[in-house]
């Protein structure tokens, strides 16, 4: 069986604890370096598509910058829904209030899906991934 | 017969132990799970907690005596057990 | 609130990872009573499913943002004096690092403490 691995990025381009987005054959992928181990995942958050490489990586946990949904980078599992926003006691203007209500109503139906992962391997200083 | 009222949370293990303390001794008591009740009752309980300086559950009232936190020895003393 | 099918064990594991890093520098650790620890973490996952935030399973939500933020786990910084004195947090998920027998730590409210 011919396993096709594609070159994604040079391993030393991502420091431990860091992430970088790459595009390979039209696929948007984020490469994570978690304590020297490299993981490759779908770049787009399973909630609303935000670029996960702009979020934070802590251990094996990736937090999306947009609404803070969290993912396990070893298997792409969505661990939490986004954190809810709260205006506190501030009352929005009628137009904004109506807008927020409509958005809120639609957001109730937006799911946080788990994300795809890719098999990776290191070879000659490169991170390779299997598409 | 002393009147026993307990405010609890469905998510709190100490509240569970408190309820067990009374049921195991066949002592009748009433309870309200704060997180499961209606808004009006919640507000009332919240105000009562504030008045008593209580910041957490379980909240036990034995007649006029208020005991906050799981304190089986104090329950026994209050009931003369 | 919970729309993603949260795997409770996976979420518990991640909460454990994040919380440990926060409470350590405060002088606390997870309770050595594993049964209570697992139960409380599970309740927090349930609360996170309900409200979007892992609140303390043993303190009341007041419908007031400022007050409710003070019971987001780990809530130790907001109750430092109280918890340092009883060597545990209110729900008992965390205890002082030197505690070996958490059963011996009574759950006393601030009013009943020596400094009050």
- Provide the residue ranges of all domains of chain A, joining segments of one domain with +: 5-83+111-130
CB C4 within 8 A of CB A78: yes
Taking residues A106-113, report their average pLDDT: 88
Where residue C87 falls (left for φ over 0; alpha for ψ -120 to 50; beta otherwise) is left
The pair of three-digit structure tokens given for residue B10, joined into one six-digit string: 């469905």
Contact B70 C111 (CB under 8 A): no
Separation CA C74–CA C79 (nearest Å): 10
Decide: B6 and B18 in contact? Cβ < 8 Å. yes
**DSSP of C14-83, one letter per residue?**
HHHHHHHHHHGGGTEEE-S-HHHHHHHHHHHHHHHHHHSS-B-TTS---S-HHHHHTTBSS-GGGGHHHH
Percent with pLDDT over 70 in chain C: 95
ipTM comes to 0.94
C contacts of B69 (beta carbons < 8 Å):
106-109
Q: Check whether A63 has a pLDDT greater than 90.
A: yes
Q: What is the pLDDT of residue B10?
A: 97
Among C88, C61, C65, C67, CA closest to C76: C88
Strand-by-strand arrangement of the A56-58 sheet = A56-58, A61-63, A70-72, A77-78
- Residue C116's pLDDT is 47
Domain count, chain C: 1
- The reply to whether C41 falls in a domain is yes
Chain B residue with minimum CA distance to C48: B11
Count of B-C CB contacts under 8 Å = 65
**Per-residue pLDDT tens digits for A68-103:** 999 999 999 999 988 877 766 778 899 998 998 898
Higher pLDDT among residues A55 and A1, named by residue: A55
Encode pLDDT of C70-99 as tens digits. Answer: 999 999 999 999 999 999 999 999 999 999
CB contact under 8 A, C58 and B34: no
A57 band by pLDDT with thresholds 50, 70 and 90: very high
Q: What is the CATH number of the domain that holds C47?
A: 3.90.460.10
Q: For residue C107, list chain B residues with Cβ-Cβ distance below 8 A.
A: 14, 69-71
- Structural domain includes residue C3: no
Using a CB-CB cut-off of 8 Å, the residues of chain A touching C66 are 88
Any domain includes C42: yes
Q: What is the pTM of this model?
A: 0.91
CATH of domain A5-83+111-130: 2.102.10.10
């Amino acid at each position: 069986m011919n396993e096709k691995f594609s070159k994604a990025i040079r391993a030393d381009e991502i420091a431990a604890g860091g992430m970088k987005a790459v595009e390979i054959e039209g696929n948007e992928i984020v490469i994570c370096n978690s304590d020297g181990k490299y993981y490759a995942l779908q770049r787009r958050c399973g909630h609303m598509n935000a670029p996960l490489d702009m979020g934070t990586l802590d251990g094996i946990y990736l937090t999306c910058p947009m609404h803070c949904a969290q993912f396990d980078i070893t298997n792409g599992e969505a661990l939490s829904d986004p954190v809810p926003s709260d205006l506190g006691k501030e009352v929005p203007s009628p137009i904004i209030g109506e807008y927020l209500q409509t958005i809120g109503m639609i957001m109730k139906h937006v799911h946080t899906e788990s994300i795809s992962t890719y098999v990776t391997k290191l070879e000659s200083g490169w991170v390779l991934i299997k598409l | 017969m002393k009147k026993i009222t307990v405010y609890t949370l469905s998510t709190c293990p100490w509240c569970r132990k408190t309820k067990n303390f009374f049921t195991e001794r066949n002592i009748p008591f009433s309870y309200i799970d704060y997180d499961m009740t209606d808004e009006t009752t919640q507000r009332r309980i919240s105000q009562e907690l504030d008045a008593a300086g209580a910041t957490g559950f379980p909240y036990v009232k034995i007649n006029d005596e208020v005991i906050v936190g799981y304190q089986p020895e104090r329950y026994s003393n209050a009931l003369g057990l | 609130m919970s729309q993603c099918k949260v795997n409770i064990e996976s979420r518990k594991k991640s909460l454990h990872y994040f919380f440990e890093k926060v409470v350590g520098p405060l002088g606390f650790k997870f309770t050595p009573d594993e049964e209570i620890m697992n139960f409380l973490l599970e309740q927090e996952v349930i609360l996170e499913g309900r409200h979007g935030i892992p609140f303390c399973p043993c303190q009341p939500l007041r419908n007031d943002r400022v007050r409710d933020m003070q019971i987001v786990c780990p809530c130790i910084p907001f109750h430092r004096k109280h918890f340092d004195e009883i060597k545990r947090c209110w729900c008992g998920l965390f205890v002082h690092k030197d505690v070996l027998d958490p059963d011996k730590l009574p759950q006393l409210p601030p009013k009943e403490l020596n400094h009050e």
